[in-house]
Chain A
Amino acid sequence: EPSVIDDEMLKKAVEEQGPKEEAGKIAKQEGIDYCDVLSLRLDFRNILKVDNLWQFTKLTKLQMDNNIIEKIEGLDALVNLRWLDLSFNNIEMLEGLDKLTKLEDLTMYNNRITRLENMDSLPNLHVLSVGNNKIDQLDNLIYLRRFPNLRTLNLSGNPVCDDQGYKLFVVAYLSQLVYLDFRLIDEDTRQKAHSLYENKLGELMHNEKQAEVARQAEEDAEKELMKHKVSLEAYVEHLNTPLLFESMYKEDPEGMKLSLLPGLQDMLKDFQDKFVDVCLKTFEYGMKGYGKRCTELAEFNACIEAAKSENKRQAVKVIDEFDERKKKLFSELLVTSDAVDQEQKVSNQYLSKLFILLAMNEYHEDVNAIWDVLMGFEMQLVDQLEETIKDFERNMTDMTSQLVEYIQGLITQLRDLENAHNEKLLEMCMSVLEKVVKNEMDEELPDDLRMLFVDKDTIVNAIGASHDVHLIKIDNREDEIVTRSGSWLTGCLQDIQAGECARNRARVVEISSYIDHLRDEIDTLDLPEAIARS
């Protein structure tokens, strides 16, 4: 009867296929973690549904042939899988292989597959066996062109093989193949196939090339996006476009209405040009500032790394020297302790014991000294880094405030532009109002614009509202830049501090554990009981 993959089955399989002999015994005692298993065989078990394999993350080879599996599923966790054998099952469709990007060998022999599909994420595929299935479309085989490493293909026993031109078709379209249906493809066949399908292949290749071009374009777009991301990091995104200017008018109904005033278009155009020009300046400056920050950070990191590696070199040297001393001492101790055991004379025995005791004392002192030295190095490094980090902090703060100040200056220019524009507009509106009042207007004004020119208050209010909206927009942008740069700085400095703190802790722990180990070592040394006790 059908069964499912359960814990019991897995445990049994793993144990059966695991290490043998003495190693097996140990494994049994300890238990084997599924995540350490590299290959697994689950064949002839009447499995209907694939499940419970999510723990086998290191698995490279999985054999599940001769079951009654109907659907490929539950393999998403096995990202390291290189061999997959699902032959002699009842699978009807290729699917669920998307996560197995390292797959090289896929065997689906004797199933009920009708189409080759859903394998786009397997670029490393080397061997594909889909014999004895129900593939019947010759054109469907073109799908396999996307696997540049495919060398071996087995299709025998499919309806498609009955086609007269099957073999030549496959050879022509899949030129990367070396073996087809268990046979080496000879040069003769290759040439025949090539000449037969030359035209069609050319067309296909042309199409593929176009697809390639399209992909290139996509990449370019991505690059553009990257640039945008960079400008985001530099807090000046979109300032190289008239987006800010446009957004000022977008949320400003009065301004939109007023812009229809005759003669205003030119003024507006002029205003926009100047405005965008200053924006662009801001953008460039922001980007420059970003570049500067990056180099500064890189320089800082490089120096910190240099200091750390130098410190490490010193510490390693001290440790290596100590190790040499330790080895020598230990071998001496062992020799002497052997002598103690064999020594007959009490006085000599006593002397040797004394020597051992002295040596052990010396060793302990040495260990203490080493601890002092290593800790000294660490303290020194901490001091050095602290100072450097402070320098860096100061420089970075200066740099940021300088940037912010400059940008603020530029934004003030924006504000001035807006003010000037506003004044001009007011003046113009006043003259228009006069004309309207005197009915000397040459041109017809749109209705909603005419509504504004009822009296002086209305028009002044409208212009004032528009001006306010613009100013608020500009202020918001400024605030955004200031806060973002501030928060980046604090974040960056915090990261550095935290990293340094963690490093220091880890090093101290490391030193302590090393010192403990050294002390343990002499205690566990194979010395006569009597001495060890005394």
Chain B
Amino acid sequence: DYSEYPESYKENTNKEKLILAYVENYRRQYVHLFRDRKPLFLNPLNECGIEKFVCTTLRPTLLSYKELYHWQGCAEFTADYLTMKQLEPPQELPLCLLSPSTILKRQLGNCFDFSNILCSLLLGAGYDAYVVSGYATKEICLTDESRQICPLLQPKEEVKKEAAKPEPRKYSVKPPRDLRSKFIIKMEARKKKEEEEEEKKKQQEEEDKIAELEKPPPDPLYGLRIHAWVLVRGGKREVPEDFFIEPFTGRSYPPSSTSFLGIESVWNHTNYWANMQNCASGCKDMSFDLMDTEKWEFMLAGSDQSQIEIPDAEEELYDMDDDEKENEDEKHLDMPASWVLPILVTKNQYEMRCPQGKKTILYKKAKLEKYANYLLKDGLVTRLSVYTNNELTDLNKVQEWYENREDKLVTRIHQDGLITEDFVEGRPRSLQQHLYKANNPGPEAERTMTFFHKARVDGLCKREETPAEITEHFINRDDFLYLRHVLFGKRQKKVAPATAEGTPRPILKITEKFHRNVSRPASEDVAEQVFVLHEDKIQVTYHREDPNITASTRDFFKPPNAEEKGGNLQWANDMTSTFQVNPHGAPSKNLSIYENLLMLIQTEQKSIQLVRVSEEEVRDILMDRQKEELASELAISVYDTERNEKAKKHRKELERLAMEEKLRRQEMEMDYLAPFLAQIGNPDKINKSQAFKLKEDCLADLKQRLIDKANLIQLRFEKETSELHKRQQDYQQKQVAMTKEDEEQYFNYCSEAMFRIHILELRLNRHKQMAPHKYMQLEQKLRQDQRLSAIHSIFG
């Protein structure tokens, strides 16, 4: 709507007019010098059809979102927030360039609009940024990323750490002599190398073939498609070297990229430069040193950085505009202030990001879907689907990112029938990762759970399960246990009615492994204990003493039901067999072996208990997960005043209470009994008759006041009516002799009087309606008044 725009949109100030004249001059020179080049993008029309210089359309802005302090955040925001519209036709400059605020409102724009906003944000954040007008490939102009690998899938550059080679030491022992034939080894190595090379060659050929197939079809408009993007020069904000940002995708490119084919001009909010370099081989060899007058032709002399002497040739050209010559001798013209409205993005808009909060991007063999926070009920913010073919039909892997989930789920990956779920810290039972088969999510199936072991009392860090096994890994336990492995047998089929839980799986074997406990001698420090339950056997292996390569072992053969006998267990010498590493060491006494056995039997019972607890825990976690998945609640921060319904309610409630309090206080201040109490001298105690009298007086007074008020209104009403009546009669009599002015005055008076009368009438009616209510209210109050309680007392 035309009227909505402020004045600066509809008109040019004198200074702007001056600069436009300047621009015109510049353009004329340009056309004169480069007859075969395309026109420059200098002064397009704005939304109101007014010519505006492009530099003044930029408005450096720093928005108050911390992501927008870095170029990555700015580029991503611009790419997400706006929908792209391609230039029509693609090889010609657009006729208009709208202000950033209009574009942000419409959320729709072409490459110039995109670059304009992005550059404004970057300049606001302190980058040395420029809008570039030039030529790019079809893929860039149409945002066709289907031949590019998704940035989320790009392999991260691994920082390879060279393992510090141990320095050769003086007395290192020589390695054992290699007795193999050197010739054979050499031949084998050669053969292997050849094979490898062949393999490599094949692979290379394959890759070349694929690349050939995937090559984009030739573009008839190659090199003619106009595009605008952003150049960020190095030097400011710790940017090491120049790079481009493509505004549609928000990706950065090095200037040597083959996607950008040429540059006509660049500008920022202070100046405008036309390119004088040859772009036949793209932007590869271009210099972005804008001070170099050989390569870049500036428009405004003396504006910030270009402090260079104006060449004489320039001087002559200036003569063409005589009237400006005077001004220009000493002072240089500086850029007028931007005409556009400030760039504003509300928090809500910022959080919604994409139009409707949704965006889908197609990459090579991948599809990326983005959603705003809180848009989807399950908290999904990003979904990346990876396909094995280019047609995106054969799904291979789905990766989903969640945010603000009550159950702390952050990512979920489906791949090859396996589901991996990652959680952040803060869940009950400290689950960190859960890996399971999609087709068998129930208990006693194959799964791996990783835990935050520091948050757990038992130090559990990982639990791996298969249908017949559980392996638990522990870290940093006081009893040095680091692994417990359980082997289950098949459930025996029983005729007995199955309970809700079902019978527990029979345990065949429990293996527990321990780290070395240095406070005990190695030969008494258990390294591994195996409870073979189905054979009634316990095998203990001790740690190796330092120089030894063998470990002492001791096997126990339990009599049946040993655990029930306790201290009454009968001892027999064939219940144990021992292998002692040191054959000369004193054999252990039977007593200590016996005590050891008793202790192991107890430990066995405890371990069985722990295994059952573990099974129970797995079942509980699965149950919890199922419930959470069904509920899929989102957590709302207490600081999020917009979304936090509870806080909102609470705030409203507080406001309401404050209001009530205020009302109550007002009422308190107006004590209806005060004057009557004063009449009888404010007695401390009021007897029945006094109270009765007070009440009567008070009510009578109110009645009187109400009547008085009614009378007053009535009186005024009558006065007003009679006055009007009089004037009307007067008018009718003198109507013929009246001047036009008087007549008008009379009509004015009439309408006003009618209005007043109408009001009075309304007030009177309202008073009539309200008076009994007020009376009743007072009576009610008096009845409840503590001071007049004497009325109701039986004793006067």
- Which residues on A are within 8 Å of B, measured CB to CB? 19-23, 25-27, 29-30, 32-33, 36, 296, 299-300, 302-304, 306-308, 312, 315-316, 319, 374, 380-381, 384-385, 387-388, 391-392, 503, 506-507, 509-511, 513-514, 517, 524
B547 close to A302 (CB less than 8 A) = no
- The complex places the Cα of A186 from the Cα of B595 at a distance, in Å, of 46
Q: What distance in Å separates the Cβ of A144 from its nearest Cβ neighbour in chain B?
A: 32
Task: List 16 A–B pairs whose Cβ atoms lie within 8 Å, in order of A's numbering.
Answer: A19-B591, A19-B595, A22-B567, A22-B568, A23-B598, A29-B590, A299-B169, A303-B169, A308-B547, A315-B549, A316-B544, A507-B547, A510-B549, A511-B550, A517-B579, A524-B577
Residues of A within 8 A of B169 (CB): 299, 302-303, 306
> B573-593 toward A: CB 8 Å interface, digit per residue (1/0)?
000010101110000011100
Nearest A residue to B539 via CB reads A327
Chain B: number of interface residues, binned into ranges: 20 to 34
Q: What distance in Å separates the Cβ of B549 from its nearest Cβ neighbour in chain A?
A: 4
Partner of A21, one of B174, B568, B579, B581: B568
- The complex places the Cα of A299 from the Cα of B174 at a distance, in Å, of 15
- Cβ of B172 under 8 Å from chain A: yes
Residues of B within 8 A of A308 (CB): 547
B594 close to A20 (CB less than 8 A) = no
B173 close to A388 (CB less than 8 A) = yes
Residues of A within 8 A of B567 (CB): 20-23
A513 close to B581 (CB less than 8 A) = yes
B174 close to A30 (CB less than 8 A) = no
B173 close to A316 (CB less than 8 A) = no
B550 close to A25 (CB less than 8 A) = no
B171 close to A299 (CB less than 8 A) = yes
- A interface, over-half SS: helix
A380 close to B583 (CB less than 8 A) = no
Partner of A312, one of B549, B569, B591: B549
A509 close to B547 (CB less than 8 A) = no
- Contacts A21-B567, A22-B594, A26-B591: A513 and B583 contacting too (C-beta < 8 A)? yes
Partner of A26, one of B173, B174, B590: B590
B550 close to A32 (CB less than 8 A) = no
- B interface, over-half SS: loop
- The complex places the Cα of A365 from the Cα of B78 at a distance, in Å, of 75
> B357-371 toward A: CB 8 Å interface, digit per residue (1/0)?
000000000000000
A23 close to B595 (CB less than 8 A) = yes
Q: What distance in Å separates the Cβ of B351 from its nearest Cβ neighbour in chain A?
A: 57
- Contacts A510-B548, A510-B550: A26 and B583 contacting too (C-beta < 8 A)? no
Residues of B within 8 A of A300 (CB): 170-171
- The complex places the Cα of A36 from the Cα of B590 at a distance, in Å, of 13
- In B554-582, the 8 Å CB interface with A consists of 567-571, 577, 579, 581-582
Q: What distance in Å separates the Cβ of B584 from its nearest Cβ neighbour in chain A?
A: 8
A299 close to B170 (CB less than 8 A) = yes
Residues of A within 8 A of B174 (CB): 384, 387
Residues of B within 8 A of A303 (CB): 169-173
- Cβ of B176 under 8 Å from chain A: yes
- Contacts A306-B172, A387-B173, A509-B583: A22 and B550 contacting too (C-beta < 8 A)? no
A30 close to B591 (CB less than 8 A) = yes
Residues of B within 8 A of A385 (CB): 173
Residues of B within 8 A of A306 (CB): 169, 172-173
For A19, A302, A308, A514, the residue with the greatest tally of chain B CB atoms inside 10 Å of its CB is: A514
- The complex places the Cα of A62 from the Cα of B176 at a distance, in Å, of 58
Q: What distance in Å separates the Cβ of B580 from its nearest Cβ neighbour in chain A?
A: 8
A25 close to B171 (CB less than 8 A) = no
B550 close to A384 (CB less than 8 A) = no
Residues of B within 8 A of A374 (CB): 549
Partner of B571, one of A22, A33, A316, A381: A22
A-B contact sample (8 more), CB < 8 A, given A22-B571, A27-B591, A514-B579: A23-B598, A26-B594, A30-B590, A299-B169, A312-B549, A506-B547, A507-B547, A510-B548
Nearest B residue to A514 via CB reads B550
* Among all A-B residue pairs, the 9 with the closest Cβ atoms: A303-B171, A384-B173, A21-B567, A315-B549, A307-B173, A514-B550, A513-B583, A300-B171, A517-B579
Residues of B within 8 A of A509 (CB): 583
A30 close to B170 (CB less than 8 A) = no
- The complex places the Cα of A228 from the Cα of B595 at a distance, in Å, of 53
For A19, A26, A299, A381, the residue with the greatest tally of chain B CB atoms inside 10 Å of its CB is: A26
B579 close to A23 (CB less than 8 A) = no
Residues of A within 8 A of B171 (CB): 299-300, 302-304, 388, 391-392
- In B145-174, the 8 Å CB interface with A consists of 169-174
B591 close to A510 (CB less than 8 A) = no
Residues of A within 8 A of B549 (CB): 312, 315-316, 319, 374, 507, 510-511
A23 close to B591 (CB less than 8 A) = yes
- The complex places the Cα of A519 from the Cα of B570 at a distance, in Å, of 30
- Contacts A312-B547, A316-B549, A507-B547: A30 and B589 contacting too (C-beta < 8 A)? yes
Q: What distance in Å separates the Cβ of B489 from its nearest Cβ neighbour in chain A?
A: 15
Residues of B within 8 A of A29 (CB): 590
Residues of B within 8 A of A32 (CB): 591
For B174, B568, B583, B591, the residue with the greatest tally of chain A CB atoms inside 10 Å of its CB is: B591
- Contacts A302-B169, A380-B176: A22 and B547 contacting too (C-beta < 8 A)? no
Residues of B within 8 A of A381 (CB): 173
- In B328-386, the 8 Å CB interface with A consists of none
Residues of B within 8 A of A511 (CB): 549-550
- The complex places the Cα of A514 from the Cα of B548 at a distance, in Å, of 11
Residues of B within 8 A of A387 (CB): 173-174
- The complex places the Cα of A272 from the Cα of B750 at a distance, in Å, of 138
Residues of A within 8 A of B173 (CB): 303-304, 306-307, 381, 384-385, 387-388
Nearest A residue to B530 via CB reads A327
B548 close to A23 (CB less than 8 A) = no
Residues of B within 8 A of A506 (CB): 547
Residues of B within 8 A of A36 (CB): 589
- The complex places the Cα of A510 from the Cα of B549 at a distance, in Å, of 8
- The complex places the Cα of A319 from the Cα of B591 at a distance, in Å, of 31
Nearest A residue to B580 via CB reads A513
Residues of B within 8 A of A296 (CB): 170
Residues of A within 8 A of B577 (CB): 524
Q: What distance in Å separates the Cβ of B127 from its nearest Cβ neighbour in chain A?
A: 55
Residues of A within 8 A of B570 (CB): 22
Q: What distance in Å separates the Cβ of A406 from its nearest Cβ neighbour in chain B?
A: 22
Residues of A within 8 A of B583 (CB): 509, 513
Nearest A residue to B172 via CB reads A303
Q: What distance in Å separates the Cβ of A314 from its nearest Cβ neighbour in chain B?
A: 9
Nearest A residue to B544 via CB reads A316
Nearest A residue to B166 via CB reads A306
Residues of A within 8 A of B550 (CB): 319, 510-511, 514
Q: What distance in Å separates the Cβ of A293 from its nearest Cβ neighbour in chain B?
A: 14
